[in-house]
Structure 1
Amino acid sequence: MTTTLITGANKGLGFETARRLVAAGHTVYVGSRDPERGRRAAERLGARAVVIDVTDDTSVAAAAKAIEADGGLDVLVNNAGIETRTADGGVAGAAEATADALRPLFETNVFGTVRVTHAFLPLLGRSAAPVVVNVSSGLGSLARVSAPGTPAYAYPGVAYPASKAAVNMITVQYAKAFPRMRINAVEPGYTATDLNGNTGTQTVEQGAEIIVRMARVAPDGPTGGYFDAEGPIPW
């Protein structure tokens, strides 16, 4: 039996990923900052709830201890992430970007990914087939964001793309450091979720496809890669 933790799984892409992995036979921990929302989501899914705030060392350590006590972990999906919006629903461009504006996104999207991965490395190391999936974005691709005429090029924000580019680098470095693990970054696509005010053009079912696929990657599958539903994408 494969045991999987998904952070930020009480709604959106995390919830849909949990639903699909439960259907595939995984024992899934629905990670949520809010205990009640997590409990309700887990009940709906036939999953287990675990409270985890990826920005808090104590919360992450407690979640790791609880999952270890229940038997360990095989798959970690670092899905929790945020994007900030301006009052009119847009994003702050380079002229408005400040260190303070970037800090909360990096705390969740980057430092949260490192914090959770570090805490669960001992458990993953005991698994026969350990897997880590880091939910990134196409906006983390320098190649895509610098290609004129593309939707990524037109995105004016600084904080979110920078945080996801950092997630991509984290993915590569962890994959090199732990060659027995399958560690990959994925781009779900522009999916309608609360993160973007439900302005995305894809459904969560479509967006979760690549997350689920890479969560189920075989021990001889790719590692240190960056993928969307159609295959590898440029860094």
Structure 2
Amino acid sequence: MPVALITGANGGLGRAIAESLATEHGYHVIISSRNAAEGKAVAVSLLQRGFSASSIQIDLSSDESIHEAVKNIEAAHDELHVLVNNAGVHLEITDTDLSTRQLLNQTFQANTFGTAVLTEACLPLLLRANTPRIVFVSSRNGSISQSLDRDWPMYGVQHPAYKASKAALNMLAVRYVEKLEGVGGMMVGFHPDARSPEVAAEKVVEMATLEKDGPTGTFVDADGSVPW
């Protein structure tokens, strides 16, 4: 049975991705969340319905937490077929008294730095699988071309920390296009603007379950390709 690790899978889009992979595609899903109790509840819900799932606590701001989690995943499964880097924060959509440095630091820790550490830690397990796939859940806000388009509805919206973190995430994804060339890695960006988690999850799951010769190194959402 293929194994998928989904970060931030205790609710919202992450949970919808995990539910789909488990119930529609026959994956064992590892529900990763910062809150251990919430992640366990999602895994138990799937198990009670007869699907394969487990949970693991990962704090993306802690290298120790990340490496301990990957060690436990290796002990339980030996290999990993899919990594969905879904967890992230958007602190600028609410009022905050954080300084510019604090805002950038907290945003990048969750959206970029932790994701980079986790992806690199999972790489040996992914390389043991026949067709490993990595999905980075990004955002159109991370597109430099889109952000400069005056006709884009989000043009002029600030949120520099979030946008910068997602642009950095996109470059991180490109690195794995190069690193996994010829192996079958999948790097895709998607953000569920104004869509339900269930609908938003469809594109992510599609990318996570492509055949070996499917497209790679793409930046897409439900409407098609997104300019880098």
TM over 0.5: yes
Q: Amino acid of the residue matched to residue 128 of structure 1?
A: N
Q: Could you say what secondary structure the match of 2:195 adopts?
A: coil
Contact 1:7 1:14 in 2 (8 A): yes
Give the structure 1 partner of residue 179 of structure 2: 177
Matches within 5 A, 1:152-167: 152-167=154-169
Structure 1 counterpart of 2:61, from 45, 51, 55: 55
Separation in 1, partners of 2:209, 2:156: 33
Q: Amino acid of the residue matched to residue 166 of structure 1?
A: A
Separation in 1, partners of 2:138, 2:99: 21
Give the structure 2 partner of residue 195 of structure 1: none
Give the Å deviation of 1:156. 1.3
Give the Å deviation of 1:157. 1.2
Matches within 5 A, 1:186-205: 186-190=189-193, 201-205=194-198
Q: Could you say what secondary structure the match of 1:149 adopts?
A: coil
Give the Å deviation of 1:63. 1.1
Contact 1:74 1:127 in 2 (8 A): yes
Separation in 2, partners of 1:130, 1:204: 24
RMSD across aligned C-alpha pairs, in angstroms? 1.7
Give the structure 2 partner of residue 193 of structure 1: none
Separation in 1, partners of 2:103, 2:73: 34
Deviation per CA, 1:145-184: give whole Å up to 9, x if none.
1111322213211000100000111111111111113231
Structure 1 counterpart of 2:205, from 212, 217, 221: 212
Separation in 2, partners of 1:189, 1:13: 8
Structure 2 gaps, min length 5: 48-52
Separation in 1, partners of 2:137, 2:206: 12
Give the TM-score normalised by structure 1. 0.89
Contact 2:176 2:185 in 1 (8 A): no
Q: Amino acid of the residue matched to residue 223 of structure 2?
A: E
Residue 37 (structure 2) pairs with residue 44 (structure 1)? no
Matches within 5 A, 1:22-33: 22-23=22-23, 24-33=25-34
Structure 2 counterpart of 1:65, from 63, 71, 83: 71
% same residue: 40
Q: Could you say what secondary structure the match of 2:16 adopts?
A: helix
Separation in 2, partners of 1:17, 1:177: 25
Separation in 2, partners of 1:165, 1:97: 21
Give the TM-score normalised by structure 2. 0.91
In the alignment of these two chains, the number of paired residues is: 220
Identify if the C-alpha distance between structure 1 residues 97 and 227 changes in structure 2 by more than 3 Å, giving closer, same or farther. farther
Separation in 1, partners of 2:219, 2:111: 16
Separation in 1, partners of 2:225, 2:96: 28
Identify if the C-alpha distance between structure 1 residues 39 and 146 changes in structure 2 by more than 3 Å, giving closer, same or farther. same
Separation in 1, partners of 2:154, 2:163: 9
Contact 1:188 1:210 in 2 (8 A): no
Q: Amino acid of the residue matched to residue 148 of structure 2?
A: S
